Amino acid sequence: MEIVYLNGEFLPQEKATVSVNDRGFLFSDGIYEVTPAYRGRFFLLDRHRERLLKGMCELRIDADLAPLAEVHDELLRQNGLAEEPVSIVYLQITRGVAPRTHAFPPTPVAPTVYAFAKAFHRPTPERWQEGFRAVTVPDRRWARVDIKTVSLLGNVLAQQAAVDAGVDDAILVRDGVALEGAHSNLFAVLGDALVTHPLSNVILPGITRGYILQLAREMGIPTEERPVQVEELRRADEAFFTGTTTEVKPCVAIDGEPVGEGRPGPITARLSEAFIERTDRHASQVTAAAGD
Ligand code: PDD
């Protein structure tokens, strides 16, 4: 039986219900976070919490995050995931329940806080070696995608376009620039350098993105944060996606054309190995150099 957390209580998922007047349901007026755990130990939880807090400030949603770490641990424990190689906790906070008016409820209401945990299964090494294919899709999202809101219709439609095209991922393109994946950040290897879009309002500041940049610098791989034109991306030596439910995922074809040699490149492989090694070390409670 799946146990979830809702507004201070742990309960079976079938018993967890929210009002039709919840502003998350009516307006997507809410925010979320997805945090990974390796053998039950949360990875970079502080960075996820900081991003959540920033988003809550932007949206002026007020919730007590003090019990957050305990709720995360307890969800893993109650769902038998404490020893799972990789699992995630999804946390969502909406502005709460109030009769429908566009502006915030005139009298503040308690936010709705919901969380669940589940196992995450990495692709097998064979599947990873095959690589993943993507299509480019126009980015039709709003202008503040740096805030991790539950308003994800643009991402949903982009990912569905990938499914409809029979491929794995979508690359969101705006004004000729390849921004990020439908649920991940995007990197390209151009010559010697690892390049990714700079932090701004048009991409999500991915926690994995930041960690991979940090790892690359430690490994002596030159990094650049600048916009990458989609035409430049098509000629890249390598490309890959990063994210909590993605880790490092090689992108080997874009719109049916191979990226580089059409298989995962050496920099992608090195970074993926280094990332997995760090998470393994974290799982066995050895403090990693990158400060996690
Ligand atoms: N998605 N960009 C977008 C649009 C995302 O939705 C995500 C994560 C990322 C990567 O962020 P991070 O490294 O912090 O996971 C980038 C989550 C996992 C999701 O929606 O399920």
Domain membership of residue 291 (yes or no) is no
Residues 197, 166 share a domain: yes
From the number of C-beta atoms within 10 Å of its C-beta (0-12, 13-18, 19+), residue 245 rates as middle
- The minimum-distance atom of ligand 1 relative to the CA of 182 is 4
174, 176, 142, 181: which is closest to 158 by C-alpha? 181
Q: How far is the CA of 110 from the centre of ligand 1 (A)?
A: 26
Predicted TM-score of the model (pTM):
0.96
Distance between CA atoms of residues 149 and 58, nearest Å:
11
Distance between CA atoms of residues 245 and 183, nearest Å:
8
Distance between CA atoms of residues 61 and 70, nearest Å:
21
Q: How far is the CA of 108 from the centre of ligand 1 (A)?
A: 30
Domain membership of residue 287 (yes or no) is no
Query: Which of 58, 89, 119 is where one domain is finished?
Result: 119
Give the domain extent around 75.
3-119
Q: Output the CA–CA distances (angstroms, integers) from residue 278 to 71, 98, 141, 152, 289, in the order listed.
A: 24, 44, 33, 30, 9
Residues 145, 101 share a domain: no
Q: How far is the CA of 212 from the centre of ligand 1 (A)?
A: 14
Query: Which of 77, 95, 119 is where one domain is finished?
Result: 119
Q: Please report the pLDDT score of residue 148 as a whole number.
A: 98
Distance between CA atoms of residues 171 and 92, nearest Å:
25
Q: What's the CATH code of the domain at 74?
A: 3.30.470.10
Catalytic site includes residue 148: yes
Q: How far is the CA of 249 from the centre of ligand 1 (A)?
A: 13
Query: At residue 101, does pLDDT exceed 60?
Result: yes
Q: Output the CA–CA distances (angstroms, integers) from residue 20 to 16, 97, 98, 218, 221, in the order listed.
A: 13, 8, 9, 49, 50
| Ligand 1 pocket test target in 34, 183, 208, 213 with most atoms within 8 Å of CB | 183
Domain membership of residue 189 (yes or no) is yes
Q: Please report the pLDDT score of residue 260 as a whole number.
A: 98
Q: Structurally, how many domains does the chain consist of?
A: 2
Query: Which of 92, 119, 146 is where one domain is finished?
Result: 119
Residues contacting residue 270 through CB under 8 Å, at least 6 positions apart: 219, 221
Residues 148, 178 share a domain: yes
Q: How confident is the model at residue 290 (pLDDT cuts 50, 70, 90)?
A: very low
Residues 211, 132 share a domain: yes
| Ligand 1 pocket test target in 49, 200, 204, 279 with most atoms within 8 Å of CB | 204
Distance between CA atoms of residues 227 and 243, nearest Å:
19
pLDDT in tens, 47-61: 999 999 999 999 999
Of 15, 54, 118, 148, which is the active-site residue?
A: 148
Instruction: Name the residue at shortest CA distance from atom 9 of ligand 1.
Output: 184
Please, what is the average pLDDT of the chain?
96
Domain membership of residue 290 (yes or no) is no
Quick one: DSSP state of residue 15? G
Average pLDDT for 238-247: 98
Residues 149, 114 share a domain: no
Q: Output the CA–CA distances (angstroms, integers) from residue 140 to 156, 200, 287, in the order listed.
A: 11, 16, 41
Residues 95, 13 share a domain: yes
Residues contacting ligand 1 via CB (< 6 Å)? 34, 155, 180, 183-185, 204, 206-209, 242-245
First to last CA, the chain: 32
Q: How confident is the model at residue 286 (pLDDT cuts 50, 70, 90)?
A: very low
- SS3 state at 158: helix
Residues 54, 134 share a domain: no
Residues 261, 157 share a domain: yes
Bridge partners of residue 193, in order along the sequence: 190
Q: What's the CATH code of the domain at 218?
A: 3.20.10.10
Average pLDDT for 252-264: 98
Domain membership of residue 236 (yes or no) is yes
Residues 256, 170 share a domain: yes
Query: At residue 289, does pLDDT exceed 50?
Result: no
